[in-house]
Every structure is written in structure tokens, then in C-alpha cells.
């Protein structure tokens, strides 16, 4: 029985599906909104058990663990940025991590996989970014700061207690059930499905530059990587990148959308911004060698499937 914190989140819902596919049962931890995606709602009460778990409440975490006899934890929960004050944001993030790790120790959980992010490479000049790349103490975003903190403190906790703690540096992600519209991939796809011009409003830099590149993966591939790390009989390392293994340009993303929706109205800025890094991709050879992870989707096949899903689902 695997507890997935943030199980009703975008990545969490897909990770639950992949764990089910591997024969596991899942406690879907949520705090506020409860969602029941079509691809596993028929398993509720059979192999999927939604449970309200406020990770900042140690008693709630322990109660869920004891009630369901959890044997593994995938810790994905993360508060929305900009909602809490800096002090509250720090407390929610760190209390949640500590409570999950303490519950794992007390309950004898085999492995805790924790969502980190490829944003920890934010100040590293050029890619490809490898797990043993030296990182900067300075940060350039809240995500970068908290994920670095998770890695340092989580791995230290594992050293002190013997709990197997594994950090997953997850790339940018897009695909079905994504609703925050942070990624340009999703904005382009949603606009094309609606037959509307893409709106890049709210971005600090406006529309992306067509030659700038980024490492984004389809959510189903990310979920597969998480499943493989959580369920592997043994692991040789404690930090893994999970991504596409590519750095696609925004022009290539737009072209993939237009191949499916020829009339898609996408206007990007010409050329490159000059702010991009050389080859900004996370190296995924370690996770490939250790657990056999290989992305199933190309950019084109991911965009095609995503747009097909958007045709029949609420936008």
C-alpha cells in the first residue's frame, strides 16, 4: 500500500494510475480539493483509498499510515506559490517533510520518494544537468530554495535514521489534468483546442522566444519514472533526474501543436531571448541505467495525445 501525498494533484493523479498498473494499492492523500479522474475512479474503495491527509499535522499522517498499513510513500504535496507568507510557506513545506519522514521511520516504511525539481539547477550555467553537478547555495526562486532544502535535510534524515529517502528532480511537465497554465506547452495546446489565440498574459517576459529551449516532459512519462523509483527492489543512488531527456524549443512546441491543429493561432517572439542556457536538459541516464526508465513520448506524440484529450474534456 503506497501513500501518495498530493495524490489529487496533477502529477499525483497520474502517479496513482501508474502504481495501480504495477499492481499496487494506493492511498490518495489530499487536503482540500478531492478529485476523481476517470482513469482510476472505478478503483475507489477497491485499490484506491482517498484520505484527507494534512501533512503539516503529524497525527493525520500517522493515522492514515496506520489505518491503511502503508509500505511506501511518494511525497508530492506542495503548497501553491504566492498564497502564503514566506514564514508560513517555509513552515508548511518543512513541517510536511518532517512529518512524512517521521511517519516512515515509526511505521517501518521501505522507501520514501520525495519530489524535488530540476529547478535546483537554476544557477548552473549550462547543461546537460547531472545529479552529481555542483549546486549553488543561492537560489533564484522559491521552488529552487525549498527543493534544495528538501534534498539536504531529507537525505540527512535518511543518514541519521536508516530510512531510505530518494530525491526525484522532476522536469517541467504538461499533459491532461494540468490546470494552472504555467507552462507554455499547455497554454498553446488549450488555446488551439478552443480555436482561440494563445494568451501569454501574466508571464514576466510575455510570449516565449521561438529559439529558447526548455526541458519539459509529458506527465505520463514523469509518473512512470516515479513509479519505477518507488517500486524498484533496490536503488544504487539517492538522487535521480526524471524528464524527457530533451530540450525542445518553443518554436518546435508550436510546430507540434500546429501539426495537429493547422489553424492554431500562436505568435511567439522571434529568435532567442539571450537569457537561455546552452543545452538546458537534465541527463536521465542514471534513472535509465538503474530502473530502466525511458520516456515513451516524443514531443509530437505527447502534444497529439494531449490535444485529443482536450477535445473531449472540459477546458
pLDDT of residue 182: 83
Residue 204, pLDDT > 80, answer: no
User: CA-CA distance, 21 to 213, in Å (whole number)?
Assistant: 33
Cα–Cα separations (whole angstroms), residue 105 to 18, 73, 84, 266: 25, 11, 29, 50
Within 10 Å of residue 192's Cβ, how many Cβ atoms? 25
**Nearest CA among 263, 268, 257 for reference residue 301:** 257
Helix or strand (DSSP H, E) at 96: helix 86-107
Q: Per-residue pLDDT averaged across 60-75, rounded?
A: 98
Per the CB < 8 A criterion, the answer to whether 72 and 110 are in contact is: yes
Pick the CATH number of 173-215+245-282+297-311 from 3.90.25.10, 3.20.20.20, 3.20.20.70, 3.40.50.300: 3.90.25.10
pLDDT-wise least confident of 104-108, 137-141, 161-165, 249-253: 137-141
Cα–Cα separations (whole angstroms), residue 182 to 122, 127, 136, 144: 17, 23, 25, 16
pLDDT of residue 82: 73
Residue 41, pLDDT > 90, answer: yes
Per the CB < 8 A criterion, the answer to whether 211 and 278 are in contact is: no
User: CA-CA distance, 189 to 48, in Å (whole number)?
Assistant: 30
| Burial (0-12, 13-18, 19+ Cβ within 10 Å), 304 | middle
Q: Write down the pTM of the prediction.
A: 0.95
Residue 51, pLDDT > 90, answer: yes
Cα–Cα separations (whole angstroms), residue 14 to 21, 131, 138, 224, 281: 11, 24, 32, 9, 23
Domain 2-171+219-242 has CATH 3.40.50.720: yes
Share the mean pLDDT of the chain.
94
pLDDT of residue 278: 85
Per the CB < 8 A criterion, the answer to whether 5 and 73 are in contact is: yes
Residue 185, pLDDT > 70, answer: yes
Where do the structural domains in the chain lie, given as residue ranges?
Answer: 2-171+219-242, 173-215+245-282+297-311
Amino acid at each position: 500500500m503506497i501513500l501518495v501525498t498530493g495524490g489529487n494533484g496533477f502529477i499525483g493523479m497520474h502517479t496513482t494510475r501508474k502504481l495501480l498498473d504495477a499492481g499496487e494499492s494506493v492511498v490518495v492523500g489530499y487536503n482540500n480539493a478531492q478529485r476523481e479522474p476517470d482513469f482510476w475512479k472505478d478503483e475507489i474503495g477497491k485499490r484506491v483509498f482517498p484520505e484527507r491527509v494534512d501533512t503539516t499535522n503529524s497525527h493525520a499522517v500517522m493515522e492514515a499510515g496506520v489505518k491503511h498499513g502503508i509500505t511506501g510513500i511518494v511525497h508530492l504535496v506542495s503548497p501553491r506559490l504566492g498564497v502564503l507568507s514566506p514564514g508560513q510557506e517555509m513552515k508548511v513545506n518543512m513541517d510536511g517533510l518532517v512529518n512524512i519522514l517521521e511517519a516512515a521511520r515509526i511505521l517501518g516504511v521501505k522507501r520514501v520518494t520525495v519530489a524535488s525539481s530540476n529547478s535546483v539547477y537554476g544557477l548552473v550555467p549550462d547543461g546537460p544537468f547531472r545529479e552529481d553537478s555542483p549546486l549553488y547555495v543561492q537560489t533564484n526562486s522559491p521552488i529552487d530554495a525549498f527543493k534544495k532544502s528538501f534534498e539536504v535535510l531529507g537525505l540527512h534524515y535518511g543518514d541519521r535514521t536508516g530510512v531510505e529517502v530518494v530525491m526525484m528532480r522532476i522536469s517541467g511537465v504538461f499533459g491532461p489534468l494540468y490546470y494552472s497554465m504555467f507552462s507554455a506547452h499547455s497554454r498553446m495546446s488549450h488555446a488551439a483546442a478552443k480555436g482561440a489565440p494563445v494568451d501569454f498574459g501574466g508571464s514576466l517576459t510575455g510570449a516565449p522566444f521561438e529559439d529558447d529551449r526548455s526541458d519539459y516532459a509529458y506527465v505520463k512519462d514523469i509518473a512512470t519514472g516515479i513509479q519505477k523509483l518507488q517500486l524498484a527492489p533496490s536503488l544504487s543512488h539517492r538522487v535521480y533526474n526524471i524528464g524527457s531527456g530533451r530540450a525542445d524549443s518553443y518554436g518546435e512546441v508550436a510546430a507540434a501543436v500546429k501539426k495537429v491543429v493547422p489553424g492554431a493561432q500562436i505568435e511567439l517572439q522571434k529568435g532567442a531571448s539571450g537569457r537561455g542556457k546552452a543545452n538546458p536538459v537534465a541527463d536521465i541516464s542514471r534513472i535509465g541505467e538503474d530502473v530502466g526508465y525511458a520516456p515513451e513520448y516524443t514531443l509530437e506524440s505527447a502534444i497529439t495525445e494531449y490535444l485529443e484529450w482536450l477535445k473531449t474534456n472540459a477546458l
